[in-house]
Amino acid sequence: MTEILGAAAAPDAVVKDATIETFEQDVVAASMAKPIVVDFWADWCGPCKQLAPALEKAVKAAGGKVDLVKVDIDKNQMLASQLRIQSIPTVYAFYQGRPVDGFQGALPESEIKAFIERLTALGGEAGEQSDPSEDYLNAGEAAFEEGDVAAAAQLFGQVAQADAANTRAIAGLARCHLALGDIEQAKLTLELAPPEAQKEPAFVSIKASIALAEDNPGGADIAALKAKAEASPDDLDARFELAGAYLSAGSMEPAIDELLAVIARDRDWNDAAARKKLLTVFEALGVAHPAAIRARRQLSSILFS
C-alpha cells in the first residue's frame, strides 16, 4: 500500500503479478484511479520475453501515472478465457473499470512508448501533482455513484488501510457496507472515525441511512401496498407502510411523496411518525439533494398553510 499511496512527489510505477483472485482489485478497481496496463504472457512465449522489458521500461518512465500488471495465462487459464485472450503477448489497458486500449505481439519500443503516452494523457496529470489517496477517494465515489459498490469498497478500503484516520475513506466504506446490506459492519466502520467527525454531514447522512434501513428492513410487496393505498387514500397506516417499502427499495422520492401525503392529511398522526421519518430522510439525503430541497418546500407549505 505504501508504494501506491505514499507521499513522494513522483511515485514509482507499481509492477505486479495478478491472478484470477486478485484481478478485480489489482486491475478493475485500481483502474478507477489511473490507467492499468495488463500484460498477458507465458513462460514458453519468446515474443513475450522480448516485449516484457520494453513494456516495463516504458511504464516506469511514466513516473507513476500508469501501473503494470502481469498475468501468466498458463496459471490463469480461466481468466484468459473470460477475457478472450487468443494469442500472446496480448496487452490490454484498463481505465475507469474497463478496457480502453490494447495491442497484440511484440511491438517496437517506439510504438510501446506511444501507447503508454496515450494512457498517461487519458489519465491526466494526477500522477505527479496530486495526492494519490485523493485519486482513490474520487474514483471510489464515482464507482459508488455508478453502482459498482464492490469496486468502490476496495478503493475506500485501500485508502483506509494506508491512513486509518481518513474520515472520507471511513464514510465511503461505511456507505458501501450499508449498500451491500451489512448494517452492523457499516456501524462498526463509522465507529473508526474520531468523535469530532461524527457530526460531519457525511456521517450524519450515513447514520440516518442506517436508521432508515433498520426501520424498513424490506421484503414488502410494493405493488400490493400501492394498490391498497390507492384504494383507500385516507388509510394513513397503508400510506406510511408503503413509504417504508419504498425506502427499503431505495426509492426515496416516492417514499417522500407518501410521507408528505400522510402529513398533509394529519400532521400529528401516530405521534407525528411521518414527519419524523421524513426528517430522517432529509438527513440521509443531505441538505443539497434536489429531492430534499423540493420536499422541504412542500413540507413548509403544508405546515404553514
Q: Please identify every residue annotated as catalytic.
A: 45, 48
Half-sphere exposure of 91 (CA within 13 A, CB side): 27
| Cβ neighbours, 10 Å, residue 293 | 12
Q: How far apart are CA 229 and CA 122, in angstroms?
A: 52
Q: Is 153 helix (H, G, I), strand (E, B) or coil?
A: helix
Task: Kindly state the cell numbers that stand for 224.
Answer: 400490493
Paired strand residues for 95: 98
Instruction: For residue 89, say if its preceding peptide bond is cis, omega within 30 degrees of 0.
Output: yes
Q: Is 74 helix (H, G, I), strand (E, B) or coil?
A: coil
Q: How far apart are CA 65 and CA 132, in angstroms?
A: 10
Nearest to 37 by CA among 7, 11, 65: 65
Cell 474514483 appears where? 139
Q: How far apart are CA 270 and CA 203, in angstroms?
A: 28
Is the Cβ–Cβ distance between 28 and 20 less than 8 Å? no
